[in-house]
Amino acid sequence: MQVKDLATLEGFVTQTMENGEASITDAYTGDLLSDVMGNAPSESVLITIQAHKNTVAVASLAGIEAIVICNKRSTPPDMLQAAKEECVAIFTFEGTQFEASCMIATLLGKVDACKG
Amino acid sequence: MQEIPINTDTSPNVILELIYRLKVKDVMTTDVVTATKETSLREIQYIMREKQITGLPIVMGKRLVGIVSMDDIIQALDKGYINEKAQDHMTRNLIVLEDDMPVSFAINYFDRFSYHRFPVLNKHKELVGMITNRDITSTLLIEINREIEELEKRTSTSSMSDEMHGEIHTYAIMKNDFENAGFASTEIKKRLKKAGVVPHIIRRVAITSYELEMNLVVHSDGGELIAEYTPDSIQITARDNGPGIPNVEEAMTAGWSTASEWIRSLGFGAGMGLPNVKSVVDDFKIESDFNGTTVVCSIKLQADEEK
């Protein structure tokens, strides 16, 4: 799927998306940025509540294409500015990380894989 | 002609390795349309037209008993027995391949026999697939593309290291400067990307430089991050002016942290930084006393295997 497909998910609000055509093959959920840095796959979307500029730096370095900020947290202007510069998309979502993860897993076609 | 224009003896090594490494089961079509002995040739003709195939295996359960080819159908139309059953006119004398055979076998078979397709059986003699020379050529093209991409990357990596050789970049890092945290790492990443270093190496360098950079921001009184490029590796040094790590062994333990609540709330300071770094670098050295800490890491730019 592509970054722009995330915008079609119900409740996902696009904050910035300079890289709509970029490919997404996986996702990672986490608020601990050191863990994200070390373990998130590239070409992925990050589901988190960390709404600050450093999340963008981590995403950009780890090859994460999009960030979904959950739980009604707002995105500060300097975060959006950094995301534009680094070509990382940001979406906000009022639900929890779990809910966002479920929706993205379905979109990625990974739900069957979860059933094992 | 049937022949697949690849010589199974004197082709380039890359190709020979490919056709011996790839198995028939990697190449064959597993979604096989079959018919039974009772099926009429007329029905088989319709199936062939609908599925756009030129040969249909006839099975009893999973056991292969014959094949009806397009030629058989033409004969049947010509001679007027198209409404008869497959069992009366199918080809019973079959040449089959096994799914564990290397693709080189299949290539030889296509060269040797005049068939357009071979049924593939597993070791229990069950029909598991069909293979055509089109299956072989398309899989080979995909694999050859991949090999060439690797070769290109390797050549660009060697010219890149010459291009960057001797470059040293030093970035000053300020204490508690979260505003610019990540800048140095992003610059290093861009430099490697521009030089065409392969993505999984860039990622390891990025993890290293970012964790060390964050350590300088979070824990030190300020310092510098130095990136040095040599022909075959990048060395990253983080040097600060104190206060020093009281117990280096503890600092190297995953989960051990001295970070404040505020830093933790940002998602850092979980005690994973140095262990993360150590796990992705090829060489790691740390020295610390009350005058400051120096961490020196190096990563080879042409890794043989993924780390």
**B266 at interface of A, judged by CB pairs closer than 8 A:** yes
User: In Å, how far are B39, B67, B94, B105, B107 from B127, measured between CA atoms?
Assistant: 18, 12, 12, 18, 20
Cβ of B178 within 8 Å of Cβ of A54? The answer is yes
Specify whether the CB–CB gap between A56 and A79 falls below 8 A: yes
Angstroms from A61 CA to nearest CA on chain B: 6
**A87 at interface of B, judged by CB pairs closer than 8 A:** no
Is residue A77 assigned to a domain? yes
User: In Å, how far are B24, B56, B133, B287 from B17, measured between CA atoms?
Assistant: 14, 32, 19, 47
d(CA B290, CA B72): 89
Is residue A45 assigned to a domain? yes
d(CA B215, CA A60): 18
Angstroms from A43 CA to nearest CA on chain B: 11
Helix (H, G, I), strand (E, B) or coil at B51: helix
Compute the average pLDDT of residues A6-16.
96
Burial of residue A72, with CB atoms counted within 10 A of its CB: 0-12 exposed, 13-18 middle, 19 or more buried: exposed
Which residues is A81 bridged to in the sheet?
none
> What is the total count of domains within chain A?
1
d(CA B54, CA B63): 20
Is residue A116 assigned to a domain? no
Whether domain B165-300 has CATH 3.40.50.880: the reply is no
Helix (H, G, I), strand (E, B) or coil at A76: coil
Specify whether the CB–CB gap between B54 and B29 falls below 8 A: no
Cβ of A31 within 8 Å of Cβ of B185? The answer is no
**B181 at interface of A, judged by CB pairs closer than 8 A:** yes
Cβ of A38 within 8 Å of Cβ of B203? The answer is no
**Could you tell me how many helices (H) and strands (E) chain A has, helices first?**
6, 5
pLDDT at B239: 95
Nearest by CB to A60, from B178, B186, B268: name it.
Answer: B186
Nearest by CB to B267, from A32, A38, A42: name it.
Answer: A32
pLDDT at B9: 75
**A57 at interface of B, judged by CB pairs closer than 8 A:** yes
Cβ of B181 within 8 Å of Cβ of A32? The answer is no
Residue A100, domain CATH: 3.40.1390.20
Cβ of B272 within 8 Å of Cβ of A42? The answer is no
Cβ of A38 within 8 Å of Cβ of B276? The answer is yes
Specify whether the CB–CB gap between A62 and A39 falls below 8 A: no
User: In Å, how far are B18, B139, B148, B152, B197 from B145, measured between CA atoms?
Assistant: 12, 10, 5, 10, 19
Residue of A nearest to B184 (CA): A57
Query: Which residues from chain A sit within 8 angstroms of residue B203, using beta carbons?
Result: 42, 61-63
Nearest by CB to A57, from B182, B269, B272: name it.
Answer: B182
**A51 at interface of B, judged by CB pairs closer than 8 A:** no
Is residue A115 assigned to a domain? no
Amino acid at the residue B285? K
Between A52 and B256, name the one with better pLDDT.
A52
Query: Which residues from chain A sit within 8 angstroms of residue B178, using beta carbons?
Result: 53-54
**A32 at interface of B, judged by CB pairs closer than 8 A:** yes
pLDDT at B161: 61
Nearest by CB to A54, from B207, B266, B279: name it.
Answer: B266
Helix (H, G, I), strand (E, B) or coil at A36: helix
pLDDT at A115: 65
pLDDT at A92 over 90: yes
For chain B, which residues make up each domain, given as ranges?
13-142, 165-300
Q: How many residues are present in chain A?
A: 116
Assigned fold of B13-142: CBS-domain (3.10.580)
Nearest by CB to A57, from B181, B279, B280: name it.
Answer: B181
Cβ of B268 within 8 Å of Cβ of A33? The answer is yes
Cβ of A35 within 8 Å of Cβ of B272? The answer is yes
One digit per residue, the tens of pLDDT, for chain B of length 307 reads: 456 777 777 777 778 888 888 999 999 999 999 999 999 999 999 999 999 888 999 999 999 999 999 999 999 999 999 999 999 999 998 999 999 999 988 988 888 888 888 999 999 999 999 999 889 989 989 988 888 888 877 776 666 666 777 889 999 999 888 888 889 999 999 999 888 888 889 999 999 999 999 999 989 999 999 999 987 899 999 999 889 898 888 888 888 888 888 888 888 888 888 888 999 999 999 999 988 999 999 999 875 544 4
Place of tokens 């360098």: B205
**B281 at interface of A, judged by CB pairs closer than 8 A:** no
What is the ipTM score, two decimals? Answer: 0.81
Domain that holds residue A30: 3-110
Place of tokens 């020379």: B133
